[in-house]
Amino acid sequence: FFLKRIVKVQNQSQSFETRSRIFKMMQSGFQFEIAGPGLKELECPICLGIVRNAIELPCEHLMCKACLEHYEKEITDTSQRERLNNDNSSNNNVVFRCSVCMTPYKVEDKKSVKSMDRIAQTSVHIKCLQKQCDWVGCIKDYTDHEKKCNFIWIQCPFAQLGCFTDVLRGELMMHNETNRLAHDSLVLAALSSFADERKTYQHKINQQGEQIQNLEKLLLKNTQKIQSIEEENEKLKYKTDQQAMVSNKTTNDIENLKCDQKQLEMKIDGHELTVGNLTVAVNDMKSKTQSSESLVNINSNEINNLKTFAVRMSQLHMKLSDTNIHNENNIFNYLEEWQYVDNEDVISWNIFVDNFSEEIEEYPYLDTLEKASRRYKNTIYPKYWSERLNKLRQYLVCGVVAWNYVKLTIGPLRNIFVTIYETLAEFNEEVSKAKYCRRSALTASYRNYEESCLYIAVFYYRAIEDVWVLDWEDIEMSKSVLPGEMVALEASKHWEGDVILEINEA
């Protein structure tokens, strides 16, 4: 319920002190206004509120658990910084003291006192946080009261249909009665929209039914073709079997002829047989010698290529181990064309890849290595503007100003309206309106579908010269946006999706 209170405080443009007070309520003691005399022993000496999650120190003083832990963390962090600044310091002891009597204590000596929490939440009478409300009760009952308090701002029940008015709970019936016609119009418009959608869906269903029928016909036709092909395959198989039988018979005839030939060879004179055997042996020795020489040459070439592969792979690993390559912040150093051309890291990388891929032999592993180096060239330092801008888009967080760039989601809109605020107070006052959605601490936006326009609010503490909407394909086609004026975006430039603004300082 404290988060809900913070949202309502923003909608009513209350002071910074009020928002700070409610934030402290979430982190430390209960910051209610006490109705009547208060119990001093139930007050946290750190946040001066009613104690929450009471912790008792050995000196019997009570404090909020969150307040005490925050105090201990600050003391610990301060001690660590002092040790880092003083290399000769060897004292690791951290001393915690009671904020009331300054008595030292150890963390393990403090203890939780749940009985005090029950007393604080049931015995102390408090007033409602809404100044107009005269309710008085205990902290434990405040949650139930807040659900019924007539002075809390709530959202109109017809908000999902288009009524975005926030009203006091006690004035809800009057709001509904006053805006009955408008609410009825919103309901009728929603029903009409649902009817149109139903017709659209029915039309799609009919189209898909026709497609299913066409596919069924095509399936039947293909099934018939498959059956016809299977019949032809059976006929071909029969013919193949017949040809195999003929082939087997021919093979037997050949074997018989070979046997006859062997018998004739055995009748050759011994002298001729000896000469023939010697000739065969000499030829066999020559063949083995030539094969050995060829194998030696092949192994030598393979070893040289493997050496080349190892050297180039080592060079690639050394280059990829450079920290500048993996630092995504580098995209800001070579985003624009003049930065890309003059960047020493980019020049060094391009020369390395070009030299790396020269005179690649036709071996699979060398060819694969060359393709990998080309792919690295297109991803680490992209050559084209669209690739560099896409890399910047992936690095930027939506709504967060990084250097002088900010990325926002534009959606299916065709206009853009940018407002730059020089003071944080003016920015917060504008974006506190219900129509804005805060994207970060410094940016907010909302979509006006009637105007097909994205309204963007940015707090930038330095003087601004101009603002540009970066084009996805060509930096020369980027569009200048004059703050405070609506600018049309060209539909052919892929403005749908993310839009990146470049803020140039004066």
Confirm if 427 and 459 have CB atoms less than 8 A apart.
yes
pLDDT of residue 121: 82
Position 20 scores a pLDDT of 46
91: pLDDT strictly greater than 60: no
Question: What does the angle CA 481 – CA 486 – CA 489 come to, to the nearest 5 degrees?
Answer: 70
Lowest mean pLDDT among 150-159, 272-281, 417-426: 272-281
Q: Is 110 contained in some domain?
A: yes
Specify the higher pLDDT residue, 256 or 281.
256
Which range in 40-49, 112-121, 237-246, 443-452 is most confidently predicted, on average pLDDT?
443-452
In the chain, the number of structural domains is: 1
How big, in percent rounded to 5, are the helix, strand and coil portions of the chain? 55, 15, 30
Angstrom distance (rounded) from CA 381 to CA 344: 11
Residue 19 has pLDDT above 50, yes or no: no
Residues paired with 182 in a beta bridge: none
Over residues 223-239, mean pLDDT? 89
pLDDT tens digits for range 53-66: 999 999 989 999 99
pLDDT of residue 23 exceeding 50, the answer is no
DSSP 180-224: HHHHHHHHHHHHHHHHHHHHHHHHHHHHHHHHHHHHHHHHHHHHH
503 within 8 A of 464, measured Cβ to Cβ: yes
**Does residue 100 belong to any structural domain of this protein?**
yes
pLDDT in tens, 399-424: 898 888 999 888 778 889 999 998 99
Is 192 in contact with 184 (CB distance < 8 Å)? no
Question: Average pLDDT for residues 192-199, to the nearest whole number?
Answer: 89
Within a domain: 39: yes
In a domain, 344, yes or no: no
pLDDT of residue 21 exceeding 80: no
Range 32-37 contact pairs with CB under 8 angstroms and sequence separation of 24 or more? 32/126, 32/127, 32/129, 32/139, 32/142, 33/126, 33/127, 34/124, 34/125, 34/126, 34/127, 35/125, 35/126, 35/127, 35/136, 36/125
Average pLDDT for 159-188: 85
336: which 2 tokens? 């624009």
Read off the pLDDT band of 12 (50, 70, 90): very low
Is the pLDDT reported for residue 493 higher than 60? no
pLDDT the model gives residue 205: 93
pLDDT of 16: 38
Q: Is residue 65 situated within a structural domain?
A: yes
- Percent residues over pLDDT 70 in the chain: 85
pLDDT in tens, 351-380: 888 877 665 556 777 778 777 877 887 788
HSE-up of 93 (CA within 13 Å, CB side)? 5
Model-wide pTM > 0.95:
no
Domain limits at 118?
A: 13-82+93-148
- Any bridge partners for residue 504, and if so which? 466
Cβ 378 vs Cβ 390: under 8 Å: no
pLDDT: which is higher, 28 or 202: 202
| Phi, psi values for residue 180, rounded to 5° | -60, -45
Minimum mean pLDDT range among 203-217, 419-433, 469-483? 469-483
**What is the distance between the alpha carbons of residues 506 and 503, in angstroms, rounded to a whole number?**
10
Quote the CA–CA distance of 101 and 59 in Å, as a whole number. Answer: 8
**Domain containing residue 34: CATH number:** 3.30.40.10
Q: How confident is the model at residue 17 (pLDDT cuts 50, 70, 90)?
A: very low
